Amino acid sequence: MKKTAWLIIAAAAIPSWLAVDTCNNNEMTTRQQILKKLYPALTGITRMTGSKNAIHRPETPATPKASFHDLSMTLITGEAQPMGEWQGKMVLLVNTASDCGYTAQYEQLQQLQDQYRDRLVILGFPANDFKQQEKGSNADIASFCKRNYGVAFPLASKSQVVKGPQQNPVFQWLSERRLNGWNDRPPIWNFTKYLVDGTGSLMAVFEPSVDPLDPALTSLLDAKGPA
């Protein structure tokens, strides 16, 4: 375990100049390739240590103070996308980054979308909020995700997801109790996951180390009927 942990620390310390070619050809950089290979070990260690793997749910059913389905997002291609179009479906919203130890979750998120396409919409929100791990343009991000992970679920235009004057309005709703009814937690790192049910109520918040295919998440989807 100690050897694996040191490998992960070493990978995270790879200098950022090794990632500059991502913007040129959308191939994985050396750092990204190493992080992808080490992802299984990373998740194993975080499960054992309890790091970034908490799941938050309301103690009692909470009614949103503002409608989730009245919100809109700007897609990575520039078009407006109203959340109301997905009323009746569950929505999993994830803040993403291309140069993170959790970037390999893109592949699992796509698997989750494919498996539950009849009842679930996954939305990725690229952000450069944590250690500048999403430096590329919208075009770079879209191409990188498609080329390396086969991402077909909607991606938002790059924005800020942490709290502040420039916070994306969707993530403002997700991280303010006065809007969603119970949760004040913003993303703690890339690949924090927020699950909203078909009525527009926030069901759960999954920290980054919770795998997209974790039974704790899929059980909530299965509860809505067979996939």
How is the chain split into domains, by residue range?
55-222
Q: Which pLDDT band, with edges at 50, 70 and 90, does 27 fall under? A: confident
Least reliable range by pLDDT among 49-58, 76-85, 141-150, 188-197: 49-58
Look at residue 225 in the predicted model and tell me its pLDDT.
64
Residue 145 designated active-site: no
pLDDT at 145 over 80: yes
pLDDT value at residue 160: 98
The pLDDT tens digits of the residues spanning 41-77 come to: 767 777 677 778 999 999 999 999 999 999 999 999 9
The active-site residue, picked from 100, 112, 127, 210, is 100
Other CB atoms within a 10 A radius of the CB of residue 49 amount to 12
pTM of the model: 0.86
Report the CATH number of the 55-222 domain: 3.40.30.10
Yes or no: say if 67 and 37 are a contact pair by the CB < 8 Å rule. Answer: no
Q: Answer whether residue 5 shows pLDDT above 60.
A: no
pLDDT band at residue 15, thresholds of 50, 70 and 90?
Answer: low
